[in-house]
Amino acid sequence: MLRKGPVWAVGAVPRGDGSGIDAAVVQTDGRAVLGYGESLFRPFDKDEADVLAARDRNPRAAAEALETALAEALAGLAGYQVAGLAEGPYATLPIAPGIVAEVLGVPVVTGLEDADSEFGGQGGAVAAAFYHARARAEGLKTPVWVVECDGQVRLTLADPAMADPAASGALNHVRLGPTPLKRLEAMGITDAGPGGALREAALEALADGDDRPLARLSPADARATLVAQVALTVAARAEAVSGAVFWCAGPMDQLLSEAISAATGQPIGRPSPPDPTALPAMGYGFAAVRTLFGLPTAFPGTTGVAAPVGGGFVSRPGGLTAALALEP
């Protein structure tokens, strides 16, 4: 049983592009960021990637592959007392977190978005409280936009001037939809490299919700046009918040990062330590501790839920799994 106080926690997050798992360790009491541990990226091998890509046909085999990869990723790190797992693009798989808990010898927290969804939230912002705590740990006085581009483009606005992430205005989370590469992939375009040019007519059509002109462009031009659309959307959001700085979290599309910087006039910082690609994983470790300590992980400003909520499932070594819930 964890006692309230400083805890070393690990988080694991599968990447949206299906390439592997990010894992990272953070120290927290559930409210503040107190230290950073190691991080790693555990790639899927070809056999695992093939099984996971075919998960609709054989979900049990895919779940076993994911369980093995998660356990190996977390076993590559040390010194933590609890783990938080994200399902990422594999939320439908019947994974058994109790197996991971048994291998690691620590409690494993999953289902961190379930309570939020049950009470009407949109999910997808588990790491938001961590971003807020990190900004406070850095001593920032101005708001921070955290940009994530791992399959989906997401913005989290954290105001470190407010001590409580549940306070009105402390956190805001915006979902902008699939990344340019994911949108093109859905259209059957998989060879969109850099070096394309923005096409104004197609950009205007996108603003009206019509993406058909993209199919008439070269793959590189289609990508450049979608990148410009996302960057302009981010800039429009950012314009309402003066003095904010930008951070990136998770894998970042370099073209998109440069376009956002150009559109907003603000560089996207890569605060170090830790490695920015490790931040979402740290966010899940942070959320696991908040869940075990009865603190909310979802807020009206991040998911649209009516009131702050938290919860999930904790699997402990020895086979015990229990539901935890903090209802509004």
Q: What is the pLDDT of residues 299-319, one digit of tens each?
A: 999 999 989 988 888 998 887
pLDDT at 252: 82
Indicate whether 270 pLDDT > 70. Answer: no
Domain region containing 250: 139-269
What would the two tokens of residue 260 be? 């956002």
**Paired strand residues for 43:** 20
Nearest residue to 126 (alpha-carbon basis) of 136, 112, 114, 115: 112
Q: Provide CB contacts within 8 A for 61, sequence distance 6+.
A: 51
Same domain, residue pair 222 and 281: no
Which DSSP symbol is given to 298? B
pLDDT at 203: 94
pLDDT at 39: 94
Residue in the structure block whose two tokens are 């609890």: 82
pLDDT at 324: 58
Phi and psi at 48, nearest 5°, equal: -65, -45
CA angle 230, 184, 182 (to 5 degrees): 70
Does any domain span residue 129? no
pLDDT at 327: 52
pLDDT at 52: 95
Same domain, residue pair 44 and 117: yes
pLDDT at 146: 92
Task: Please state, as a whole number, how many other Cβ atoms lie within 10 Å of the Cβ of residue 159.
Answer: 22
328: confidence class by pLDDT, cuts 50, 70, 90: low
Same domain, residue pair 101 and 167: no
Does any domain span residue 127? no
Q: Is the dihedral of CA 200, 206, 212, 214 positive or negative?
A: positive
Same domain, residue pair 27 and 112: yes
**Number of structural domains the chain divides into:** 2
Give the percent of the chain with pLDDT over 90.
57
Does any domain span residue 258? yes
Query: Rounded to an integer, what is the distance from CA 221 to the centroid of its chain?
Result: 28
pTM for the full predicted model = 0.92
Does any domain span residue 298? yes
pLDDT at 120: 85
Same domain, residue pair 75 and 179: no
| Domain closes at, from 269, 288, 314 | 269
CATH number at residue 317: 3.30.420.40
- Determine if residue 36 is left, alpha or beta; phi over 0 gives left, psi from -120 to 50 gives alpha, anything else beta: beta
What would the two tokens of residue 114 be? 């379930």
Same domain, residue pair 265 and 282: no
**pLDDT tens-digit readout, 75-117:** 999 999 999 999 888 888 888 888 889 888 999 999 888 888 8
R_g over Cα of the chain: 20
54: confidence class by pLDDT, cuts 50, 70, 90: very high
Same domain, residue pair 264 and 290: no
Does any domain span residue 287? yes
Same domain, residue pair 43 and 113: yes
Q: Which of 156-165, 190-199, 265-274 has the lowest mean pLDDT?
A: 265-274
Same domain, residue pair 114 and 205: no
